[in-house]
Amino acid sequence: MHRIKQIPLFSNLSFSYIDKLQKISTVKSFNKDEILFYEGDSPIYMHILLEGSLRLYKTNSKGNQIFLHQFKPVCLVAELANFEGISYPATAQFLTKGEVLKIDYKKLENDFFKNPEISLQIIRSLTNKLKIMSDVVTNEVILTSEAKIAKFIIENSELFGKLKNTQIASILNLTPETLSRTLTKFKNMGIILESDRHKIVVINEKELLKLYT
Amino acid sequence: MHRIKQIPLFSNLSFSYIDKLQKISTVKSFNKDEILFYEGDSPIYMHILLEGSLRLYKTNSKGNQIFLHQFKPVCLVAELANFEGISYPATAQFLTKGEVLKIDYKKLENDFFKNPEISLQIIRSLTNKLKIMSDVVTNEVILTSEAKIAKFIIENSELFGKLKNTQIASILNLTPETLSRTLTKFKNMGIILESDRHKIVVINEKELLKLYT
DNA sequence: TTCTTTCATTGACATAGGTCAATTTTTACA
DNA sequence: TGTAAAAATTGACCTATGTCAATGAAAGAA
């Protein structure tokens, strides 16, 4: 109960409504690497990520996982599938242990959209997801691997200090080999340099920006 | 005025509200090939496509246009940019002559989301766009060109009778050469055959489905 | 119908990025 | 601190799809 009140989507609801929600929802815990849902599954529940970090990916014909997004709490997950009654368009897997509020969507649906506060939150959530997907298209369809890496350095340079190159490569949907070769190239061009502990220092930001804009 | 009443998004509005909308909006006509907005432009107006067929595309580093979607009236266009105050993520160009309702978004914004009827329509529109983008990702990132073509034949075989292969290739973001080679391959495999007037007849639908599922 | 232009097909080749294997470097644990 | 395991680097090669050019086929204009 206390959990539901803290979810932005539901924070403005009346007590009676929250009580009703309470009755049709459960909190479920997941361990690292557990799957919340697979691509192609039919949705029964609406999922709200409460704790932990959730990775969304699709699988291509070679069996490679194509990274789409990493969700942080608190947020709706794959509500598109609920709203449209279609199967999940991607797989969701926990990167850490986590918790999810599962709501019986069918029971919710009828009056879910009537509440203006909820509508507004849904619009926010959908808008956010649309932006995510638009970025996925830009990154995966429009940019070359060099451009992707340049963009990632500009936008997420701190992650080089925290993650291994294999992990960064998988976020970028590139092989570690390609990432390594490209970083070497950037170093040779004098655009970046690598300080201790695997950190990247941008020397020539202008040049880096030019590579993807 | 009469136009606004016919737009599903606004059909349930009170007369006074429609009157207000009327004052901040204009209808503009476009010729074939004219651009409604360019990728990167800052949005001022909210656009509603009233007539004609509108092509949405992004441009990659080689200058190729990457086809995203073809809009049919009546629908909101690129509302994401309005809602988020970001620049247009793609270019919109008319394929035929057409008409657009342009609404001064800043004047609309304040009370736009308060009306539950409008909210619901916006949710519909956003959901629809999210599905479109999810399909773009599937087609452009997940599927091979062979799979894309197989899927297109299953879902749009009638278009082969209406469009030239160059046009189909551009919808699929492939070169005409690749399309031609793949169709020849499918013919040799006995999966399809080409009847008169450039029409495609599917002989082995099962096999075609297997190529992309 | 004939001519001209556009479109489709085909072959030869180019290229980005992936794959595989060998080697070196880093990390983590005993 | 030494050593095993994991990660990064590098080279050689592969593959899907694009590019370019030549030719043949279809469609529209005269």
Lowest-confidence range among A28-37, A104-113, A183-192?
Answer: A104-113
B91 band by pLDDT with thresholds 50, 70 and 90 = very high
> Among candidates A36, A32, A2, which has minimal Cα distance to A18?
A2
Could you tell me where the DSSP H helices lie in A37-84?
A: 79-84
Binary contact (A141, B143; C-beta < 8 A): no
Mean pLDDT of A61-66: 94
Distance CA B99, CA B77 (A): 12
**Beta-carbon contacts of residue A20 (< 8 Å; ≥ 6 apart):** none
Q: How many helices (H) and strands (E) does chain A have?
A: 10, 10
Residue range B152-192, pLDDT digits in tens: 999 999 999 999 999 999 999 999 999 999 999 999 999 99
Mean pLDDT of A124-152: 98
- What pLDDT is attached to residue A7? 86
Question: What is the nearest CA distance from A198 to chain B, expressed in angstroms?
Answer: 30
Give the residue with greater pLDDT, A8 vs A180: A180
- What pLDDT is attached to residue A154? 97
Q: How many helices (H) and strands (E) does chain B have?
A: 10, 10
For A182, half-sphere exposure in the C-beta direction (CA atoms, 13 angstrom radius) is 22
Judge if the beta carbon of A180 is closer than 7 A to nucleic acid strand D.
yes
B1 band by pLDDT with thresholds 50, 70 and 90 = low
Distance CA B24, CA B33 (A): 27
Give the residue with greater pLDDT, B119 vs B30: B30
- What pLDDT is attached to residue A1? 54
> Among candidates B157, B141, B145, which has minimal Cα distance to B191?
B157
Residue range A14-28, pLDDT digits in tens: 888 888 888 999 999
Distance CA B108, CA B40 (A): 22
Residue range B33-71, pLDDT digits in tens: 999 999 999 999 999 999 999 999 999 999 999 999 999
On average, the pLDDT of chain A sits at: 93
- What pLDDT is attached to residue A111? 73
CB A95 within 8 A of CB A54: yes
A58, A84, A141: residue with CB nearest B66: A141
Binary contact (B141, A58; C-beta < 8 A): yes
Question: What is the nearest CA distance from B201 to chain A, expressed in angstroms?
Answer: 26
Binary contact (A68, B126; C-beta < 8 A): no
- CA A41 to C1' C14, in angstroms, rounded, equals 42
Measured CA distances, A57 to A38, A68, A166 (Å)? 9, 5, 16
Residue bearing tokens 């619009």 = A123
Radius of gyration of chain B, Cα coordinates, nearest whole angstrom: 20
Cis peptide before B74, with omega less than 30 degrees from 0? yes
- What pLDDT is attached to residue A197? 73
CA angle B25, B30, B33 (to 5 degrees): 140
- CA B74 to C1' D17, in angstroms, rounded, equals 37
**Beta-carbon contacts of residue B176 (< 8 Å; ≥ 6 apart):** B165, B166, B169
Q: Is the pLDDT of residue B130 over 90?
A: yes
Structure tokens belonging to residue A81: 């599938």
- What pLDDT is attached to residue A9? 82
Give the residue with greater pLDDT, B145 vs B7: B145
Judge if the beta carbon of B91 is closer than 7 A to nucleic acid strand D.
no
Judge if the beta carbon of B187 is closer than 7 A to nucleic acid strand C.
no
Strands A75-77 vs A25-30: parallel, antiparallel or unpaired: unpaired
Residue bearing tokens 């490209």 = A182
Amino acid A22 reads Q
- CA A177 to C1' C23, in angstroms, rounded, equals 14
Give the residue with greater pLDDT, B163 vs A110: B163
From chain A, the residues in CB contact with B86 under 8 A are 131
Distance CA A149, CA A168 (A): 9
On average, the pLDDT of chain B sits at: 93
- CA A59 to C1' C20, in angstroms, rounded, equals 22
> Among candidates A5, A45, A46, which has minimal Cα distance to A22?
A5
> Among candidates A188, A183, A177, A186, which has minimal Cα distance to A210?
A186
Structure tokens belonging to residue A91: 């797989």
Shortest CA distance from A117: residue in chain B: B114
Distance CA A27, CA B60 (A): 44
Residue range A167-201, pLDDT digits in tens: 999 999 999 999 999 999 999 999 999 887 788 99
